[in-house]
Structure 1
Amino acid sequence: MKTYQIEHRPPETVNVVKLIEIVALRGNGTEDNPVRKIIQYYNLNGKFIFECDYQ
């Protein structure tokens, strides 16, 4: 079994920022598109930042 050495690198910066978090449902209930919760994040000016969709 091969073992690997993990090199730890600390973060360059860490910031606390204010975001708008929206939790909503997505999907139509089919096997290909099940109903699920998604989380979207926007900055305070309303610009979309990212989305978490755990399908």
Structure 2
Amino acid sequence: MCQSKNVRPRGTDSAKVIQVIETISIRGIGTDTDPVRAVKQFWNFEGKLLAESDPFICEE
């Protein structure tokens, strides 16, 4: 699990329910540096990638 020590949540300013397309793809070649894993991607209806959730990638 990725956790940044610099994140300071302050609450939610806005929230709404929207429709997106969720895809799940297998990625990786099965090595220690590139393990096989399921990657979720979220797309709008125009085909624009909105977000990606890759359990191996930990952004600092």
Normalising by structure 1, report the TM-score.
0.78
Comparing both structures, which one devotes a greater share of its residues to strand? 1
**Alpha carbons of 1:30 and 1:16: their partners in 2 closer, same or farther (altered >3 Å)?**
same
Following TM superposition, by how much is the alpha carbon of 1:10 offset from its aligned partner in structure 2, in angstroms?
Answer: 3.9
Letter in 2 for 1:27: G
For the aligned residue pairs, the C-alpha RMSD in angstroms reads 1.4
Aligned length, in residue pairs: 48
Structure 1 gaps of 5+ residues are 1-7
Deviating beyond 2 angstroms after TM superposition, the runs of 4 or more aligned structure 1 residues are none
The structure whose Rg is larger is 1
Normalising by structure 2, report the TM-score.
0.72
Alignment map for 1:1-55 (pairs within 5 Å): 9-55=10-56
